[in-house]
Structure 1
Amino acid sequence: MPTPALPLPPPAHAAPLPAPSPGPDGTRVLPGVPFAATPGTRPLELDLYLPAGDGPHPVALFLHGGGWRLGSRHSGGPAFPARTLFERVAAAGVAVASADYRLTGEAVWPAQLHDAKAAVRWLRARAGELDVDGDRVAAWGESAGGHLAALLGLVSDPALEGEVGVTGPPSAVAAVAAWYPPTDLVGFAGDAGADPDDATTREAQLLGAPPSSVPDRAAQASPLAHVAAGAPPFLLLHGRADRFVPCVQSERLGEALRAAGADVDLHTSAGADHMWLGAPDAAADALDRTVAFLRARLLGS
Protein backbone atom coordinates (compact mmCIF):
# COMPACT_ATOMS: atom_id res chain seq x y z
CA MET A 1 0.00 0.00 0.00
CA PRO A 2 1.28 3.48 -0.74
CA THR A 3 2.23 5.55 2.27
CA PRO A 4 -0.50 8.14 2.92
CA ALA A 5 0.59 11.70 2.34
CA LEU A 6 1.26 13.75 5.40
CA PRO A 7 -1.28 16.52 5.96
CA LEU A 8 0.08 19.93 5.00
CA PRO A 9 -0.18 22.81 7.45
CA PRO A 10 -2.29 25.79 6.40
CA PRO A 11 -0.43 28.58 4.59
CA ALA A 12 1.34 31.03 6.86
CA HIS A 13 -1.02 33.85 5.90
CA ALA A 14 -3.99 31.87 7.23
CA ALA A 15 -2.49 31.41 10.71
CA PRO A 16 -4.13 32.93 13.79
CA LEU A 17 -3.11 36.50 14.52
CA PRO A 18 -0.73 37.34 17.37
CA ALA A 19 -1.91 39.39 20.31
CA PRO A 20 -1.16 43.10 19.84
CA SER A 21 1.50 44.82 21.93
CA PRO A 22 0.78 48.22 23.47
CA GLY A 23 2.37 51.34 21.98
CA PRO A 24 2.35 55.04 22.86
CA ASP A 25 -0.89 57.05 23.03
CA GLY A 26 -2.99 53.91 23.16
CA THR A 27 -1.72 52.59 19.82
CA ARG A 28 -1.11 48.88 19.35
CA VAL A 29 1.19 46.85 17.09
CA LEU A 30 0.98 43.34 15.65
CA PRO A 31 4.55 42.53 14.58
CA GLY A 32 5.69 40.02 11.98
CA VAL A 33 2.31 38.86 10.69
CA PRO A 34 2.55 36.71 7.51
CA PHE A 35 0.34 37.99 4.70
CA ALA A 36 1.49 35.73 1.86
CA ALA A 37 3.77 32.83 1.09
CA THR A 38 5.09 31.42 -2.17
CA PRO A 39 6.49 27.89 -2.48
CA GLY A 40 10.18 27.68 -1.70
CA THR A 41 10.47 31.20 -0.28
CA ARG A 42 10.07 32.84 3.09
CA PRO A 43 6.62 34.01 4.12
CA LEU A 44 6.10 37.70 3.47
CA GLU A 45 5.30 39.60 6.65
CA LEU A 46 3.94 42.94 7.74
CA ASP A 47 3.79 44.91 10.98
CA LEU A 48 0.39 46.42 11.70
CA TYR A 49 0.17 49.61 13.79
CA LEU A 50 -3.35 50.25 15.07
CA PRO A 51 -4.81 53.49 16.45
CA ALA A 52 -6.25 53.68 19.93
CA GLY A 53 -9.84 52.66 20.46
CA ASP A 54 -12.24 50.47 18.60
CA GLY A 55 -12.29 50.33 14.82
CA PRO A 56 -12.69 49.51 12.12
CA HIS A 57 -9.82 51.88 11.33
CA PRO A 58 -8.75 53.06 7.88
CA VAL A 59 -5.36 51.65 6.94
CA ALA A 60 -2.37 52.74 4.86
CA LEU A 61 -0.14 50.05 3.38
CA PHE A 62 3.47 51.28 3.65
CA LEU A 63 6.14 50.00 1.25
CA HIS A 64 9.80 50.63 2.05
CA GLY A 65 12.54 51.96 -0.21
CA GLY A 66 15.96 50.56 -1.05
CA GLY A 67 16.06 50.42 -4.85
CA TRP A 68 13.95 47.23 -4.82
CA ARG A 69 17.06 45.36 -3.64
CA LEU A 70 17.55 46.51 -0.02
CA GLY A 71 15.42 47.38 2.97
CA SER A 72 12.61 45.84 4.94
CA ARG A 73 9.31 46.64 6.61
CA HIS A 74 11.32 47.97 9.56
CA SER A 75 12.60 50.93 7.51
CA GLY A 76 10.86 54.23 6.88
CA GLY A 77 13.95 55.96 5.52
CA PRO A 78 16.87 57.50 7.44
CA ALA A 79 14.94 60.63 8.42
CA PHE A 80 12.66 58.68 10.76
CA PRO A 81 12.93 55.70 13.11
CA ALA A 82 10.40 53.38 11.47
CA ARG A 83 8.38 52.55 14.53
CA THR A 84 8.13 56.21 15.50
CA LEU A 85 7.04 57.08 11.95
CA PHE A 86 4.25 54.53 11.87
CA GLU A 87 3.13 55.18 15.44
CA ARG A 88 2.77 58.87 14.55
CA VAL A 89 0.34 58.03 11.77
CA ALA A 90 -1.53 55.52 13.93
CA ALA A 91 -1.86 58.11 16.69
CA ALA A 92 -3.55 60.34 14.09
CA GLY A 93 -6.25 57.72 13.55
CA VAL A 94 -4.95 55.79 10.51
CA ALA A 95 -3.59 52.26 10.90
CA VAL A 96 -0.33 51.47 9.10
CA ALA A 97 0.60 48.07 7.67
CA SER A 98 4.32 48.15 6.86
CA ALA A 99 4.96 45.24 4.52
CA ASP A 100 7.91 43.38 3.09
CA TYR A 101 8.06 42.39 -0.57
CA ARG A 102 10.46 40.24 -2.57
CA LEU A 103 13.68 42.06 -3.41
CA THR A 104 15.44 41.81 -6.76
CA GLY A 105 17.90 39.23 -5.43
CA GLU A 106 14.89 36.98 -4.88
CA ALA A 107 12.68 37.73 -7.88
CA VAL A 108 12.34 40.25 -10.69
CA TRP A 109 9.40 42.29 -11.90
CA PRO A 110 6.43 41.90 -11.53
CA ALA A 111 6.92 39.93 -8.28
CA GLN A 112 7.21 43.14 -6.24
CA LEU A 113 3.83 44.43 -7.43
CA HIS A 114 2.27 40.99 -6.94
CA ASP A 115 3.43 41.08 -3.32
CA ALA A 116 2.09 44.58 -2.71
CA LYS A 117 -1.26 43.61 -4.18
CA ALA A 118 -1.27 40.47 -2.02
CA ALA A 119 -0.85 42.64 1.08
CA VAL A 120 -3.91 44.73 0.15
CA ARG A 121 -5.98 41.63 -0.53
CA TRP A 122 -4.94 40.08 2.79
CA LEU A 123 -5.86 43.24 4.71
CA ARG A 124 -9.30 43.13 3.12
CA ALA A 125 -9.76 39.38 3.63
CA ARG A 126 -9.00 39.62 7.35
CA ALA A 127 -10.22 43.15 8.01
CA GLY A 128 -12.67 42.09 10.72
CA GLU A 129 -10.01 40.28 12.72
CA LEU A 130 -7.53 43.11 12.24
CA ASP A 131 -9.97 45.87 13.24
CA VAL A 132 -9.36 47.72 9.96
CA ASP A 133 -11.79 48.92 7.30
CA GLY A 134 -11.30 47.14 3.98
CA ASP A 135 -13.16 49.92 2.18
CA ARG A 136 -10.67 52.57 3.33
CA VAL A 137 -7.22 51.41 2.22
CA ALA A 138 -4.47 53.74 0.97
CA ALA A 139 -0.96 53.06 -0.32
CA TRP A 140 2.09 54.95 0.94
CA GLY A 141 5.74 54.41 0.14
CA GLU A 142 9.16 55.97 -0.17
CA SER A 143 11.50 55.68 -3.17
CA ALA A 144 11.12 52.15 -4.62
CA GLY A 145 8.20 51.71 -2.23
CA GLY A 146 6.69 54.93 -3.58
CA HIS A 147 6.96 53.43 -7.06
CA LEU A 148 5.02 50.36 -5.87
CA ALA A 149 2.47 52.50 -4.02
CA ALA A 150 1.85 54.49 -7.21
CA LEU A 151 1.39 51.26 -9.16
CA LEU A 152 -1.15 50.05 -6.59
CA GLY A 153 -3.14 53.19 -7.28
CA LEU A 154 -2.95 52.89 -11.07
CA VAL A 155 -2.65 49.25 -12.18
CA SER A 156 -5.93 47.47 -12.83
CA ASP A 157 -4.66 45.00 -15.44
CA PRO A 158 -5.67 41.47 -14.31
CA ALA A 159 -2.43 40.17 -15.85
CA LEU A 160 -0.50 42.06 -13.15
CA GLU A 161 -2.66 40.97 -10.22
CA GLY A 162 -0.67 37.85 -9.39
CA GLU A 163 -1.75 34.83 -7.40
CA VAL A 164 0.34 35.35 -4.28
CA GLY A 165 -1.38 34.78 -0.94
CA VAL A 166 -5.10 35.41 -0.65
CA THR A 167 -6.88 35.78 -3.98
CA GLY A 168 -10.34 37.14 -4.61
CA PRO A 169 -10.58 40.49 -2.79
CA PRO A 170 -9.74 43.56 -4.89
CA SER A 171 -6.32 45.18 -4.60
CA ALA A 172 -7.37 48.73 -5.54
CA VAL A 173 -6.56 51.55 -3.12
CA ALA A 174 -8.43 54.77 -2.36
CA ALA A 175 -5.44 57.13 -2.23
CA VAL A 176 -1.66 57.17 -2.79
CA ALA A 177 1.10 59.04 -0.96
CA ALA A 178 4.50 58.64 -2.65
CA TRP A 179 7.80 60.11 -1.47
CA TYR A 180 10.44 60.65 -4.20
CA PRO A 181 9.25 57.73 -6.38
CA PRO A 182 10.64 56.47 -9.69
CA THR A 183 7.68 56.79 -12.04
CA ASP A 184 9.05 56.44 -15.58
CA LEU A 185 11.58 53.63 -16.01
CA VAL A 186 11.68 54.18 -19.76
CA GLY A 187 12.94 57.73 -19.32
CA PHE A 188 14.83 57.25 -16.06
CA ALA A 189 18.34 56.95 -17.48
CA GLY A 190 17.87 60.09 -19.56
CA ASP A 191 16.61 62.01 -16.53
CA ALA A 192 19.51 60.80 -14.40
CA GLY A 193 22.20 61.26 -17.06
CA ALA A 194 23.03 57.56 -16.82
CA ASP A 195 23.91 54.86 -19.35
CA PRO A 196 20.61 53.33 -20.55
CA ASP A 197 22.42 50.07 -21.38
CA ASP A 198 23.96 49.62 -17.92
CA ALA A 199 22.85 46.22 -16.57
CA THR A 200 23.94 47.02 -13.00
CA THR A 201 21.44 49.81 -12.25
CA ARG A 202 18.66 49.35 -9.76
CA GLU A 203 16.12 49.64 -12.59
CA ALA A 204 17.88 46.96 -14.65
CA GLN A 205 18.00 44.62 -11.67
CA LEU A 206 14.27 45.12 -11.14
CA LEU A 207 13.46 44.36 -14.77
CA GLY A 208 16.06 41.62 -15.26
CA ALA A 209 17.71 43.62 -18.06
CA PRO A 210 18.53 47.24 -18.90
CA PRO A 211 15.32 49.19 -19.59
CA SER A 212 16.60 50.08 -23.07
CA SER A 213 16.65 46.38 -24.03
CA VAL A 214 13.19 45.59 -22.62
CA PRO A 215 11.18 48.76 -23.33
CA ASP A 216 7.79 47.06 -23.08
CA ARG A 217 8.66 45.62 -19.67
CA ALA A 218 10.05 48.99 -18.55
CA ALA A 219 6.81 50.68 -19.57
CA GLN A 220 4.74 48.01 -17.82
CA ALA A 221 6.69 48.69 -14.61
CA SER A 222 6.25 52.48 -14.90
CA PRO A 223 3.37 54.17 -13.06
CA LEU A 224 3.38 56.82 -15.78
CA ALA A 225 2.26 54.26 -18.37
CA HIS A 226 -0.81 53.28 -16.30
CA VAL A 227 -2.30 56.74 -15.76
CA ALA A 228 -5.95 56.80 -16.80
CA ALA A 229 -9.24 58.43 -15.91
CA GLY A 230 -10.48 57.32 -12.53
CA ALA A 231 -7.09 57.38 -10.79
CA PRO A 232 -7.32 57.92 -7.02
CA PRO A 233 -6.05 61.08 -5.27
CA PHE A 234 -2.25 61.34 -5.18
CA LEU A 235 0.18 63.12 -2.88
CA LEU A 236 3.62 63.36 -4.51
CA LEU A 237 6.54 64.68 -2.42
CA HIS A 238 10.05 65.08 -3.80
CA GLY A 239 13.27 66.97 -3.11
CA ARG A 240 14.46 69.19 -5.94
CA ALA A 241 18.09 68.29 -5.13
CA ASP A 242 17.45 64.51 -5.36
CA ARG A 243 20.53 62.86 -6.88
CA PHE A 244 19.14 59.32 -7.01
CA VAL A 245 15.60 59.78 -8.34
CA PRO A 246 15.36 63.01 -10.34
CA CYS A 247 12.54 65.28 -9.20
CA VAL A 248 11.20 65.38 -12.75
CA GLN A 249 9.98 61.81 -12.25
CA SER A 250 7.35 63.03 -9.77
CA GLU A 251 6.65 66.13 -11.83
CA ARG A 252 5.99 64.06 -14.96
CA LEU A 253 3.60 61.75 -13.13
CA GLY A 254 1.83 64.71 -11.57
CA GLU A 255 1.30 66.32 -14.96
CA ALA A 256 -0.09 63.10 -16.42
CA LEU A 257 -2.45 62.58 -13.50
CA ARG A 258 -3.79 66.13 -13.76
CA ALA A 259 -4.32 65.67 -17.50
CA ALA A 260 -6.34 62.53 -16.70
CA GLY A 261 -8.52 64.48 -14.25
CA ALA A 262 -7.05 63.09 -11.04
CA ASP A 263 -6.76 65.02 -7.79
CA VAL A 264 -3.01 65.57 -7.37
CA ASP A 265 -1.00 67.44 -4.74
CA LEU A 266 2.63 67.71 -5.90
CA HIS A 267 5.04 69.44 -3.51
CA THR A 268 8.77 69.76 -4.12
CA SER A 269 11.30 70.86 -1.51
CA ALA A 270 14.29 73.02 -2.40
CA GLY A 271 17.64 71.69 -1.16
CA ALA A 272 16.27 68.26 -0.24
CA ASP A 273 18.21 65.27 -1.53
CA HIS A 274 16.92 61.71 -1.77
CA MET A 275 15.41 60.43 1.51
CA TRP A 276 15.21 64.10 2.64
CA LEU A 277 18.96 64.09 3.27
CA GLY A 278 20.28 67.53 4.08
CA ALA A 279 16.80 68.89 4.76
CA PRO A 280 15.33 67.84 8.12
CA ASP A 281 12.63 70.49 7.81
CA ALA A 282 11.54 68.95 4.50
CA ALA A 283 11.33 65.54 6.18
CA ALA A 284 9.14 66.89 8.98
CA ASP A 285 6.98 68.72 6.45
CA ALA A 286 6.59 65.56 4.36
CA LEU A 287 5.31 63.63 7.35
CA ASP A 288 2.90 66.43 8.30
CA ARG A 289 1.56 66.57 4.75
CA THR A 290 1.22 62.80 4.59
CA VAL A 291 -0.70 62.59 7.86
CA ALA A 292 -3.02 65.39 6.73
CA PHE A 293 -3.53 63.72 3.33
CA LEU A 294 -4.31 60.30 4.80
CA ARG A 295 -6.70 61.78 7.33
CA ALA A 296 -8.46 63.81 4.65
CA ARG A 297 -8.80 60.91 2.24
CA LEU A 298 -9.56 58.15 4.70
CA LEU A 299 -11.20 59.91 7.64
CA GLY A 300 -12.70 62.90 5.87
CA SER A 301 -10.97 65.27 8.27
Structure 2
Amino acid sequence: MQRFARWRDCIVYLADSFNDLSALGQAPMSHDDDGDTIRDVKFAEYGSRELFLDLYLPDEAATDLPTVMMIPVGGWRNSQRPEQPPWLVDIGFAVAAIDCRVHPEVTAPATVFDCKAGVRWLRAKGHEYGLDPERIGTWGSSAGGHLSALMAVTGEVDELEGEGGNPGVSSRIQAACDQCGPTDLERMADPALAAENPVLQEVTDNFVGGPVAKHRDTARLVSPLRYVSPSCAPILILHGDEDPTVPVAESVIFHQALTEA
Protein backbone atom coordinates (compact mmCIF):
# COMPACT_ATOMS: atom_id res chain seq x y z
CA MET A 1 0.00 0.00 0.00
CA GLN A 2 2.85 2.38 0.74
CA ARG A 3 4.25 1.88 -2.76
CA PHE A 4 0.88 2.64 -4.35
CA ALA A 5 0.51 5.80 -2.30
CA ARG A 6 3.91 6.98 -3.47
CA TRP A 7 3.03 6.36 -7.13
CA ARG A 8 -0.35 8.07 -6.72
CA ASP A 9 1.29 11.07 -5.08
CA CYS A 10 3.55 11.39 -8.11
CA ILE A 11 0.48 11.62 -10.37
CA VAL A 12 -1.06 14.31 -8.18
CA TYR A 13 2.18 16.27 -8.04
CA LEU A 14 2.70 16.18 -11.79
CA ALA A 15 -0.90 17.05 -12.53
CA ASP A 16 -0.56 20.11 -10.32
CA SER A 17 2.78 21.06 -11.85
CA PHE A 18 1.52 20.80 -15.41
CA ASN A 19 -1.79 22.55 -14.52
CA ASP A 20 -3.65 20.56 -17.20
CA LEU A 21 -2.67 16.89 -17.33
CA SER A 22 -4.40 16.46 -20.70
CA ALA A 23 -1.88 18.87 -22.18
CA LEU A 24 0.92 16.45 -21.40
CA GLY A 25 -0.58 13.87 -23.71
CA GLN A 26 -0.74 16.44 -26.52
CA ALA A 27 2.95 17.25 -25.99
CA PRO A 28 2.86 20.73 -27.57
CA MET A 29 6.24 22.17 -28.46
CA SER A 30 5.33 25.87 -28.32
CA HIS A 31 7.43 28.17 -26.20
CA ASP A 32 8.05 31.88 -25.84
CA ASP A 33 11.45 32.70 -27.31
CA ASP A 34 12.69 34.65 -24.29
CA GLY A 35 14.34 31.72 -22.53
CA ASP A 36 17.92 30.59 -22.76
CA THR A 37 18.76 27.82 -25.24
CA ILE A 38 22.19 26.23 -25.20
CA ARG A 39 22.71 23.90 -28.14
CA ASP A 40 25.14 21.12 -28.93
CA VAL A 41 26.59 20.45 -25.49
CA LYS A 42 28.66 17.27 -25.56
CA PHE A 43 27.52 14.86 -22.85
CA ALA A 44 28.97 11.52 -23.91
CA GLU A 45 31.59 10.00 -26.16
CA TYR A 46 32.52 6.52 -27.28
CA GLY A 47 35.90 6.77 -28.99
CA SER A 48 35.37 9.20 -31.86
CA ARG A 49 31.57 9.05 -31.56
CA GLU A 50 30.23 12.05 -29.66
CA LEU A 51 26.70 12.71 -28.40
CA PHE A 52 25.20 16.13 -27.78
CA LEU A 53 22.24 17.66 -26.02
CA ASP A 54 20.31 20.90 -26.24
CA LEU A 55 19.57 22.58 -22.93
CA TYR A 56 16.51 24.78 -22.57
CA LEU A 57 16.28 27.01 -19.50
CA PRO A 58 13.30 29.00 -18.19
CA ASP A 59 12.98 32.69 -18.99
CA GLU A 60 14.10 33.90 -15.58
CA ALA A 61 17.58 33.03 -14.40
CA ALA A 62 17.38 30.59 -11.52
CA THR A 63 19.38 28.00 -9.66
CA ASP A 64 18.52 24.51 -8.46
CA LEU A 65 16.19 24.00 -11.41
CA PRO A 66 14.25 20.74 -11.69
CA THR A 67 15.33 19.15 -14.94
CA VAL A 68 13.54 16.87 -17.39
CA MET A 69 15.73 14.86 -19.72
CA MET A 70 13.80 14.49 -22.96
CA ILE A 71 14.49 11.27 -24.89
CA PRO A 72 13.32 12.02 -28.47
CA VAL A 73 13.63 8.48 -29.83
CA GLY A 74 11.12 6.80 -32.14
CA GLY A 75 11.13 3.09 -32.90
CA TRP A 76 14.67 2.84 -31.48
CA ARG A 77 15.68 3.91 -35.01
CA ASN A 78 15.15 7.69 -35.03
CA SER A 79 16.72 10.23 -32.69
CA GLN A 80 16.14 13.91 -33.36
CA ARG A 81 16.25 16.77 -30.91
CA PRO A 82 13.30 19.18 -31.21
CA GLU A 83 13.71 22.39 -33.19
CA GLN A 84 11.71 24.43 -30.67
CA PRO A 85 12.02 24.55 -26.88
CA PRO A 86 9.62 22.10 -25.20
CA TRP A 87 6.62 23.60 -23.40
CA LEU A 88 7.82 22.38 -20.01
CA VAL A 89 10.25 25.30 -20.02
CA ASP A 90 7.28 27.67 -19.76
CA ILE A 91 6.30 26.24 -16.38
CA GLY A 92 9.70 26.41 -14.77
CA PHE A 93 11.50 23.23 -15.78
CA ALA A 94 14.87 23.02 -17.45
CA VAL A 95 14.79 20.54 -20.33
CA ALA A 96 17.74 18.63 -21.74
CA ALA A 97 17.00 16.99 -25.10
CA ILE A 98 19.60 14.33 -25.81
CA ASP A 99 21.00 12.50 -28.81
CA CYS A 100 20.95 8.71 -28.76
CA ARG A 101 22.59 6.11 -30.94
CA VAL A 102 19.90 4.03 -32.61
CA HIS A 103 19.43 1.18 -35.08
CA PRO A 104 21.11 0.41 -37.44
CA GLU A 105 24.18 2.05 -35.88
CA VAL A 106 23.73 0.08 -32.65
CA THR A 107 21.53 -2.49 -30.97
CA ALA A 108 20.48 -2.84 -27.34
CA PRO A 109 21.63 -2.00 -24.79
CA ALA A 110 23.72 0.78 -26.41
CA THR A 111 20.80 3.23 -26.63
CA VAL A 112 20.18 2.68 -22.92
CA PHE A 113 23.84 3.47 -22.23
CA ASP A 114 23.32 6.85 -23.92
CA CYS A 115 20.34 7.70 -21.71
CA LYS A 116 22.29 6.72 -18.62
CA ALA A 117 25.19 8.88 -19.78
CA GLY A 118 22.76 11.79 -20.14
CA VAL A 119 21.58 11.46 -16.56
CA ARG A 120 25.14 11.16 -15.26
CA TRP A 121 26.16 14.30 -17.15
CA LEU A 122 23.22 16.26 -15.75
CA ARG A 123 24.13 15.18 -12.24
CA ALA A 124 27.87 15.83 -12.65
CA LYS A 125 27.83 19.00 -14.77
CA GLY A 126 24.33 20.43 -14.50
CA HIS A 127 25.22 22.72 -11.59
CA GLU A 128 27.21 24.80 -14.10
CA TYR A 129 23.88 25.69 -15.71
CA GLY A 130 21.82 26.12 -12.55
CA LEU A 131 20.37 22.59 -12.50
CA ASP A 132 19.52 20.67 -9.35
CA PRO A 133 21.45 17.36 -9.41
CA GLU A 134 18.87 15.73 -7.14
CA ARG A 135 15.78 16.67 -9.16
CA ILE A 136 16.20 14.93 -12.50
CA GLY A 137 13.34 13.32 -14.38
CA THR A 138 12.94 11.74 -17.82
CA TRP A 139 10.25 11.95 -20.46
CA GLY A 140 9.72 10.12 -23.72
CA SER A 141 7.05 8.76 -26.03
CA SER A 142 6.81 5.29 -27.60
CA ALA A 143 10.41 3.99 -27.75
CA GLY A 144 11.37 7.12 -25.83
CA GLY A 145 8.72 6.20 -23.27
CA HIS A 146 10.27 2.76 -22.93
CA LEU A 147 13.67 4.34 -22.30
CA SER A 148 12.21 6.84 -19.84
CA ALA A 149 10.52 4.05 -17.88
CA LEU A 150 13.73 2.03 -17.92
CA MET A 151 15.60 4.98 -16.40
CA ALA A 152 13.10 5.02 -13.52
CA VAL A 153 13.53 1.37 -12.57
CA THR A 154 17.26 0.77 -13.16
CA GLY A 155 19.02 3.32 -10.99
CA GLU A 156 21.65 0.86 -9.82
CA VAL A 157 21.96 -1.70 -12.63
CA ASP A 158 25.62 -1.87 -13.64
CA GLU A 159 24.89 -3.82 -16.84
CA LEU A 160 23.04 -0.82 -18.26
CA GLU A 161 25.47 1.97 -17.35
CA GLY A 162 27.85 1.82 -20.31
CA GLU A 163 31.00 3.91 -20.60
CA GLY A 164 29.78 7.19 -22.09
CA GLY A 165 31.35 9.42 -19.46
CA ASN A 166 31.24 10.54 -15.83
CA PRO A 167 31.86 7.06 -14.36
CA GLY A 168 30.88 6.57 -10.76
CA VAL A 169 28.15 9.21 -10.88
CA SER A 170 24.68 7.90 -10.06
CA SER A 171 22.19 7.55 -12.92
CA ARG A 172 19.25 7.29 -10.53
CA ILE A 173 16.40 9.67 -11.38
CA GLN A 174 13.65 11.11 -9.22
CA ALA A 175 10.62 10.82 -11.56
CA ALA A 176 9.68 9.73 -15.06
CA CYS A 177 6.94 10.07 -17.65
CA ASP A 178 6.36 7.01 -19.83
CA GLN A 179 4.14 7.97 -22.74
CA CYS A 180 2.90 4.80 -24.49
CA GLY A 181 6.18 2.93 -24.20
CA PRO A 182 6.66 -0.84 -24.52
CA THR A 183 7.58 -2.33 -21.15
CA ASP A 184 7.95 -6.09 -21.71
CA LEU A 185 9.91 -6.61 -24.91
CA GLU A 186 9.99 -10.38 -24.52
CA ARG A 187 6.27 -10.48 -25.33
CA MET A 188 7.18 -10.06 -29.00
CA ALA A 189 8.55 -13.62 -28.91
CA ASP A 190 4.91 -14.76 -28.88
CA PRO A 191 3.99 -15.40 -32.55
CA ALA A 192 0.34 -14.45 -32.01
CA LEU A 193 1.19 -11.12 -30.35
CA ALA A 194 3.83 -10.42 -32.99
CA ALA A 195 1.30 -11.04 -35.76
CA GLU A 196 -1.14 -8.60 -34.13
CA ASN A 197 1.56 -5.93 -33.77
CA PRO A 198 3.81 -6.17 -36.85
CA VAL A 199 5.36 -2.70 -36.54
CA LEU A 200 6.25 -3.23 -32.89
CA GLN A 201 7.63 -6.66 -33.73
CA GLU A 202 9.85 -5.24 -36.48
CA VAL A 203 11.34 -2.41 -34.43
CA THR A 204 11.77 -4.61 -31.36
CA ASP A 205 13.61 -7.25 -33.39
CA ASN A 206 15.88 -4.54 -34.77
CA PHE A 207 16.48 -3.08 -31.32
CA VAL A 208 17.52 -6.33 -29.64
CA GLY A 209 19.66 -7.48 -32.56
CA GLY A 210 17.39 -10.03 -34.22
CA PRO A 211 14.18 -11.99 -33.62
CA VAL A 212 13.18 -11.63 -29.99
CA ALA A 213 12.69 -15.39 -29.69
CA LYS A 214 16.43 -15.78 -30.36
CA HIS A 215 17.48 -12.78 -28.26
CA ARG A 216 15.42 -13.24 -25.11
CA ASP A 217 18.29 -12.36 -22.78
CA THR A 218 18.71 -8.95 -24.41
CA ALA A 219 14.96 -8.37 -24.48
CA ARG A 220 14.75 -9.10 -20.75
CA LEU A 221 17.79 -6.95 -20.01
CA VAL A 222 16.11 -3.85 -21.47
CA SER A 223 12.51 -4.50 -20.33
CA PRO A 224 11.32 -2.08 -17.62
CA LEU A 225 8.88 -4.67 -16.28
CA ARG A 226 11.78 -6.87 -15.16
CA TYR A 227 13.10 -4.26 -12.70
CA VAL A 228 9.96 -3.06 -10.91
CA SER A 229 10.57 -2.80 -7.17
CA PRO A 230 9.56 -0.58 -4.24
CA SER A 231 12.73 1.47 -4.76
CA CYS A 232 12.09 2.60 -8.33
CA ALA A 233 11.33 6.26 -9.04
CA PRO A 234 7.71 7.48 -9.32
CA ILE A 235 6.39 7.06 -12.86
CA LEU A 236 3.56 8.79 -14.69
CA ILE A 237 2.15 6.49 -17.40
CA LEU A 238 0.10 7.86 -20.30
CA HIS A 239 -1.34 5.57 -22.97
CA GLY A 240 -4.38 5.60 -25.26
CA ASP A 241 -6.39 2.41 -25.69
CA GLU A 242 -6.45 2.84 -29.49
CA ASP A 243 -2.70 3.12 -29.96
CA PRO A 244 -2.02 1.55 -33.40
CA THR A 245 1.61 0.66 -32.69
CA VAL A 246 2.12 -0.13 -29.01
CA PRO A 247 -0.81 -2.01 -27.44
CA VAL A 248 -2.13 -0.41 -24.27
CA ALA A 249 -1.60 -3.77 -22.54
CA GLU A 250 2.09 -2.82 -22.31
CA SER A 251 1.17 0.00 -19.95
CA VAL A 252 -1.55 -1.94 -18.14
CA ILE A 253 0.81 -4.73 -17.07
CA PHE A 254 3.47 -2.21 -16.09
CA HIS A 255 0.99 -0.19 -14.02
CA GLN A 256 -0.20 -3.35 -12.29
CA ALA A 257 3.35 -4.37 -11.42
CA LEU A 258 4.13 -0.90 -10.05
CA THR A 259 1.05 -0.78 -7.85
CA GLU A 260 1.74 -4.25 -6.49
CA ALA A 261 5.43 -3.62 -5.75
Fold-level similarity (TM above 0.5):
yes
The aligned counterpart of 1:281 is none
The aligned counterpart of 2:73 is 65
Q: Does 2:32 correspond to 1:24?
A: yes
* 8 Å Cα contact 2:89-2:95 kept in structure 1: yes
2:186 is paired with a residue of what secondary structure? coil
Matching residue within 54, 57, 65 for 1:50: 57
* 8 Å Cα contact 1:121-1:169 kept in structure 2: yes
* 8 Å Cα contact 1:25-1:91 kept in structure 2: no
Q: 1:200-239 alignment to 2 at 5 Å?
A: 201-239=202-240
Please report how far the alpha carbon of residue 25 of structure 1 lies from its aligned counterpart in structure 2 after TM superposition: 6.6
* 8 Å Cα contact 2:240-2:248 kept in structure 1: yes
CA distance in structure 2 between the aligned counterparts of 1:157 and 1:99, rounded to whole angstroms: 21
Q: Does 2:138 correspond to 1:139?
A: yes
Q: 1:1-301 alignment to 2 at 5 Å?
A: 24=32, 26-41=34-49, 43-51=50-58, 52-74=60-82, 83-84=84-85, 86=86, 88-155=87-154, 156-188=156-188, 190=190, 193-195=193-195, 201-260=202-261
Cα offsets for 1:46-73 (capped at 9, x unmatched):
1111112221211010101310101312
* 8 Å Cα contact 1:64-1:143 kept in structure 2: no
> Partner amino acid for 2:184?
D
> Partner amino acid for 1:63?
I
Give the 3 Å change call, closer, same or farther, for CA 131–257 of structure 1 in structure 2. Answer: same
* 8 Å Cα contact 1:191-1:246 kept in structure 2: no
CA distance in structure 1 between the aligned counterparts of 2:115 and 2:191, rounded to whole angstroms: 27
Cα offsets for 1:195-228 (capped at 9, x unmatched):
49x9981101111011111212111111011111
Question: So what's the TM-score if we normalise by structure 2?
Answer: 0.81
Cα offsets for 1:24-47 (capped at 9, x unmatched):
274211111111111132x11111
2:68 is paired with a residue of what secondary structure? strand
CA distance in structure 1 between the aligned counterparts of 2:157 and 2:201, rounded to whole angstroms: 29
> Partner amino acid for 1:137?
I
Please report how far the alpha carbon of residue 230 of structure 1 lies from its aligned counterpart in structure 2 after TM superposition: 1.1
CA distance in structure 1 between the aligned counterparts of 2:189 and 2:224, rounded to whole angstroms: 16
> Partner amino acid for 1:101?
C
> Partner amino acid for 1:73?
R
1:186 is paired with a residue of what secondary structure? helix
> Partner amino acid for 1:107?
V
Identity rate of aligned residues, in percent? 37
Give the 3 Å change call, closer, same or farther, for CA 147–192 of structure 1 in structure 2. Answer: farther
Unaligned ranges ≥5, structure 1: 1-22, 75-81, 261-301
* 8 Å Cα contact 1:189-1:195 kept in structure 2: no
CA distance in structure 1 between the aligned counterparts of 2:133 and 2:96, rounded to whole angstroms: 12
Cα offsets for 1:146-167 (capped at 9, x unmatched):
1111111111211221111221
* 8 Å Cα contact 2:112-2:160 kept in structure 1: yes
Question: So what's the TM-score if we normalise by structure 1?
Answer: 0.71
CA distance in structure 2 between the aligned counterparts of 1:143 and 1:83, rounded to whole angstroms: 20
CA distance in structure 2 between the aligned counterparts of 1:191 and 1:232, rounded to whole angstroms: 33
Unaligned ranges ≥5, structure 2: 1-30
More helix, by proportion: 2
CA distance in structure 2 between the aligned counterparts of 1:175 and 1:60, rounded to whole angstroms: 9
CA distance in structure 1 between the aligned counterparts of 2:109 and 2:32, rounded to whole angstroms: 37
* 8 Å Cα contact 2:139-2:176 kept in structure 1: yes
* 8 Å Cα contact 1:109-1:207 kept in structure 2: yes
1:216 is paired with a residue of what secondary structure? helix
Report the number of matched residues: 227
Give the 3 Å change call, closer, same or farther, for CA 191–65 of structure 1 in structure 2. Answer: farther
Please report how far the alpha carbon of residue 188 of structure 1 lies from its aligned counterpart in structure 2 after TM superposition: 3.6
Give the 3 Å change call, closer, same or farther, for CA 48–56 of structure 1 in structure 2. Answer: same
CA distance in structure 2 between the aligned counterparts of 1:248 and 1:223, rounded to whole angstroms: 14
* 8 Å Cα contact 2:68-2:136 kept in structure 1: yes
